[in-house]
């Protein structure tokens, strides 16, 4: 078993020796770190291709031979020549005690381990630390084999279903033989192929299902990737399956670069390798000439798991490895002062900062030049969406694409233009939604993703399977057909998919939308907003309380029916401004303190800003949330005050309506629908406006509840007012409403009232007892334990 930790340590030590403990030339440090890895992998691939079982071979000859096949550029040879002494010692230390065959079997594991660590560079020292488990600077996640097999099967069977009927009949061939012959000539492409997970899955499926041997399928693959080491790994594994006379042809079917950039003037392997090594993934020189890669053909099948990131320069992430003091500053204007200072203290780092940030700033300009990208270049650039459109438009008219993507491609409002284009052109064949709670990917268990299959076949709707947690029995699952009309009924403003957890959830949503109007139809006069943005308004923000500033309320401070839920009062100063800092929950009592905050806004600026919001009170809710939380919607009424972007709010003129909406927002029926329709982690007004709600006349109906016969509205407001009656800053709102007979409640009475409100809103929604119990069962129990 190869010890990858030991390999990383030896590589770090070799880097220290080569740089002589001077790390000021940060780009040279990053390139050297990369070329040390590239050297090791290249030698292992050489041994794989030429069947050497011993380390006792001439490294220089090996590198020259790999260079002759175009698998490395000139720079790796020059690197070895100028650093032979250090590199020989490095390779000797790594190889000691282990046969080369063990290393060859572990090539991909070695590469993946390097991508899981982060090289931290200071002026006078370096360190290597564990980073995020399965992702790296390319925002790629390594695909589990079973998931890759699922994608491959969906793609291949879709292609057969589409093209088989158009194939000429040959009486001398059986149907299976004709399909086999067709598949042997099909082109299979991965635009971000990494180390080739999807190619191996395709080879296995073609062998087991259609008797196509590896040496035949190996000639069908075409790949692009931005990582030179990963690309060399996949090429060498493929060509090792065929005769050497076939190698050069197959090697030409793979290209190094960023597949999102189309370029007729590609640069050398060395130049692209250096750009990759220094994190310049979106430099214009990283473009790829598709005509060279595909040799004039158009792909039959495009498969893959493209990067799951956004194309934007993350300044704090950039500085974390080299200047954590800059990275730790959350306010952009204060970071800018520190960034400016490195012009003198570390000019090489500042130069790299300028290059990388400029690459990202220019990205949109170069993406527009790609003839295959039209609808996805809108708003914030999402790599998932861009790769998906690239694949769909690149496949030939009889072909298909099947990719692993974030569920947001079908759910998030930001992808509206592209998603609606797919729906309008009947491009979607199948979409399979997965929850990651069984950790298919070694990332956050709350993450959701999908397999999206696209073709140009005309059809009525597409097949849907939702709520998958693994790939077991996936092809036996019931598939529901979803049409454009159904999507528009559920999300009339966007036509996007709801965030459903099962096919049954889709049926429930369709039924509710048939019966009830939308929030925006019933409450069109609501004034929505977000008030203080800590970045956009940073020049008006302080981190300490002064006479001329005002506390900025954060989402952490509110809970359902509680405006004083938590505080930063007991949090150590060094943790208050840390990324994802946590406040401390206040002890439950009548006289809880007003929260102690982290940010304060200039009073004069606030007074000029608040004129847009005329009401004295606002219904506020936590904007950053999750459908997997105990509750997704957490709302409370606040007096008109500064709130951060972690809170969204609405104002409405009528006091009773404001209080009614507080109860509605915090109810289980409303929250359940929010969970089904909320994309991502940001609960925006666009989501709220599309939620079906009870019509006003329902609240006027007489209901007997808890022995009292009153209007449904009275029962609801009686309990809502009682729950917030102890809030000192809401006096002017609640005291005049004496007809609702409210009073302060004990802890046990608060729990009873909360449960009663959920029951009352289930009546308003027209839910049967069984329907309400099934909905309630989807929430953690007991739901009120935090009180």
In a domain, 436, yes or no: yes
Instruction: Name the nearest CA neighbour of 663 among 737, 724, 742.
Output: 724
Distance between CA atoms of 625 and 679, rounded to whole angstroms? 10
Q: Are residues 673 and 729 in the same domain?
A: yes
User: Please, are residues 8 and 36 in contact by the beta-carbon 8 Å criterion?
Assistant: no
Residues of the chain with pLDDT under 70: 1, 53-57, 96-97, 131-141, 162-174, 590, 781-787
Distance between CA atoms of 310 and 385, rounded to whole angstroms? 10
Q: b vs e for 724-734, b when ≥16 Cβ sit within 10 Å of the residue's Cβ?
A: bebbeebeebb
Q: Are residues 187 and 307 in the same domain?
A: yes
The 3-class secondary structure across 64-98, one letter per residue, is HHHHHCCCCCHHHHHHHHHCHHHHHHHHHHHHCCC
Q: Are residues 165 and 245 in the same domain?
A: yes
In a domain, 156, yes or no: yes
**Under DSSP, is residue 350 helix (H, G, I), strand (E, B) or coil?**
helix
Distance between CA atoms of 440 and 663, rounded to whole angstroms? 38
Q: Are residues 397 and 447 in the same domain?
A: no
Question: Which pLDDT score, from 0 to 100, does residue 450 have?
Answer: 94
We report the CATH number of the domain holding residue 605 as: 3.90.220.10
Instruction: Name the nearest CA neighbour of 637 among 730, 551, 524.
Output: 730
Q: Which of 100, 130, 160 is the last residue of a domain?
A: 130
In a domain, 511, yes or no: no
Distance between CA atoms of 316 and 237, rounded to whole angstroms? 38
Is the sign of the CA dihedral 528, 682, 593, 656 positive or negative?
positive
In a domain, 686, yes or no: yes
We report the CATH number of the domain holding residue 206 as: 3.40.50
In a domain, 357, yes or no: no
Question: Which pLDDT score, from 0 to 100, does residue 353 have?
Answer: 97
In a domain, 488, yes or no: yes
Domain membership of residue 585 as a residue range = 521-776
Q: Which positions ≥6 away from 420 have C-beta within 8 Å?
A: 494, 495
Q: Are residues 192 and 163 in the same domain?
A: yes
Distance between CA atoms of 617 and 768, rounded to whole angstroms? 34
Peptide bond into 570 cis (omega under 30): no
Strands of 455-556 (E only): list them. 462-468, 480-482, 527-529, 541-542, 549-551
Q: Are residues 645 and 741 in the same domain?
A: yes
Q: Between the CA atoms of 541, 544, 545 and 548, what dihedral angle is there, to the nearest 10 degrees?
A: -40
Taking CA atoms, 48 is separated from 40, 59, 422, 588, 605, in Å, by 13, 14, 44, 66, 67
Q: Which of 92, 111, 130 is the last residue of a domain?
A: 130
Q: How many CA atoms lie within 13 A of 352 on its CB side?
A: 25
Q: What is the DSSP string of 382-404?
A: BHHHHHHHHHHHHS-TT-EEEEE
Residue matched to tokens 């000029």: 608
Q: Which of 347, 382, 403 is the last residue of a domain?
A: 403
Q: Are residues 256 and 383 in the same domain?
A: yes
Taking CA atoms, 43 is separated from 82, 110, 236, 719, in Å, by 17, 13, 11, 73
In a domain, 330, yes or no: no
Q: What is the pLDDT of residues 32-59, one digit of tens each?
A: 999 999 999 999 999 999 887 666 668 8
Q: Residue 461: is it exposed, middle or buried by C-beta count within 10 angstroms (0-12/13-18/19+)? A: middle
In a domain, 689, yes or no: yes
Q: Are residues 468 and 436 in the same domain?
A: yes
Q: Are residues 306 and 390 in the same domain?
A: yes
Q: Are residues 374 and 424 in the same domain?
A: no
Instruction: Name the nearest CA neighbour of 602 among 537, 555, 647.
Output: 537
Is the sign of the CA dihedral 469, 475, 478, 480 positive or negative?
positive
Q: Token digits for 283?
A: 């430099």
Q: Are residues 142 and 242 in the same domain?
A: yes
Q: Are residues 551 and 644 in the same domain?
A: yes
Q: What is the pLDDT of residues 217-238, one digit of tens each?
A: 999 999 999 999 999 999 999 9
Tally of structural domains, the chain: 4
Distance between CA atoms of 583 and 170, rounded to whole angstroms? 72
């Amino acid at each position: 078993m190869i010890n990858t930790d030991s390999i990383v340590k030896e590589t770090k030590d070799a880097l220290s020796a080569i740089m002589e403990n001077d790390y000021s030339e940060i780009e040279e440090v990053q390139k050297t770190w990369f070329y040390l890895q590239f050297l090791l992998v290249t030698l292992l691939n050489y041994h794989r291709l030429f069947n050497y079982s011993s380390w006792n071979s001439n490294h220089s000859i090996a590198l020259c031979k790999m260079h002759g096949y175009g698998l490395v550029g000139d720079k790796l040879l020059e690197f070895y020549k100028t650093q032979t002494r250090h590199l020989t010692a490095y390779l000797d230390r790594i190889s000691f005690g282990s046969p080369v065959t063990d290393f060859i079997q572990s090539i991909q594991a070695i590469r993946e381990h390097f991508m899981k660590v982060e090289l931290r560079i200071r002026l006078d020292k370096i360190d290597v630390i564990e980073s995020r488990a399965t992702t790296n600077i390319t925002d790629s996640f390594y695909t589990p084999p079973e998931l890759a097999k699922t994608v491959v099967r969906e793609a291949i069977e879709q292609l057969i279903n589409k093209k088989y009927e158009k194939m000429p009949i040959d009486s001398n061939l059986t149907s299976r033989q004709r399909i086999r012959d067709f598949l042997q000539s099909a082109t299979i492409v991965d635009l971000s192929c990494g180390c080739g997970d999807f190619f191996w899955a395709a080879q296995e499926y073609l062998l087991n299902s259609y008797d196509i041997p590896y040496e035949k399928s190996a000639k069908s693959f075409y790949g692009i990737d931005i990582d030179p080491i990963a690309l060399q790994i996949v090429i060498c594994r493929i060509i090792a399956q065929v005769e050497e006379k076939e190698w050069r042809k197959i090697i030409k079917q793979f290209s190094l670069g960023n597949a999102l950039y189309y370029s007729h003037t590609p640069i050398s392997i060395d130049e692209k390798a250096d750009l990759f090594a220094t994190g310049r993934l979106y430099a214009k020189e990283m473009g790829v000439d598709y005509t060279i890669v595909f040799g004039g053909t158009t792909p039959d099948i495009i498969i893959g798991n493209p990067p799951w990131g956004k194309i934007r320069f993350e300044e704090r992430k950039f500085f974390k490895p080299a200047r954590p003091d800059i990275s730790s500053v959350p306010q952009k204007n204060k970071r800018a002062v520190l960034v400016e200072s490195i012009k003198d203290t570390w000019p090489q780092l500042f130069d790299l900062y300028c290059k990388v940030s400029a690459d990202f700033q220019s990205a949109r300009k170069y993406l527009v030049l790609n003839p295959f990208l039209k609808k996805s270049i809108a708003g914030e650039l999402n790599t998932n969406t861009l790769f998906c459109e690239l694949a769909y438009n690149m496949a030939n008219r009889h072909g298909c694409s099947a990719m692993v993507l974030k569920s947001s491609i079908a759910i998030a409002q930001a992808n509206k233009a592209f998603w609606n284009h797919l729906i309008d052109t009947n491009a979607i064949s199948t979409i399979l939604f997965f929850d990651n709670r069984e950790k298919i990917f070694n990332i956050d268990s709350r993450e959701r993703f999908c397999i999206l299959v696209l073709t140009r076949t005309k059809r009525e709707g597409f097949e849907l399977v939702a709520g998958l947690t693994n790939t077991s029995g996936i092809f036996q699952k019931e598939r529901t057909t979803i049409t454009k009309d159904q999507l528009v009924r559920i999300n009339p403003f966007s036509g996007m998919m709801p965030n459903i957890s099962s096919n049954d959830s889709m049926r429930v949503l369709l039924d509710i939308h048939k019966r009830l109007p939308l929030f925006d139809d019933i409450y069109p006069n609501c004034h929505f907003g977000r008030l203080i943005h800590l970045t956009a308004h940073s020049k008006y923000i302080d981190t300490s309380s002064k006479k001329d500033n005002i506390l900025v309320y954060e989402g952490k401070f509110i809970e359902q029916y509680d405006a004083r839920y938590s505080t930063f009062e007991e949090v150590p100063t060094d943790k208050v401004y840390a990324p994802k800092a946590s406040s401390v929950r206040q002890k439950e009592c009548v006289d809880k303190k007003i929260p102690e905050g982290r940010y304060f806004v200039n009073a004069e600026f606030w007074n000029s800003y608040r004129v847009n919001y005329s009401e004295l009170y606002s219904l506020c809710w936590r904007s950053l949330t999750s459908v997997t939380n105990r509750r997704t919607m957490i709302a409370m009424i606040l007096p008109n005050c500064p709130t951060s972007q972690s809170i969204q709010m609405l104002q409405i003129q009528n006091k009773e309506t404001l209080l009614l909406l507080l109860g509605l927002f915090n109810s289980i029926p409303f929250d359940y629908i929010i969970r089904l329709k909320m994309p991502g982690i940001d609960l925006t007004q666009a989501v709220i406006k599309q939620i079906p709600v009870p019509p006003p006349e329902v609240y006027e109906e007489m209901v007997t509840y808890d022995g009292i016969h009153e209007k449904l509205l009275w029962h609801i407001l009686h309990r809502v007012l009682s729950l917030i009656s102890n809030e000192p800053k809401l006096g002017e709102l609640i005291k005049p409403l004496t007809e609702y007979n409210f009073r302060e409640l004990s802890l046990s009475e608060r729990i009873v009232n909360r449960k009663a409100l959920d029951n009352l809103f289930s009546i308003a929604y027209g839910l049967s007892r069984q329907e309400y119990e099934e909905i309630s069962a989807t929430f953690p129990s007991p739901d009120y334990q935090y009180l």
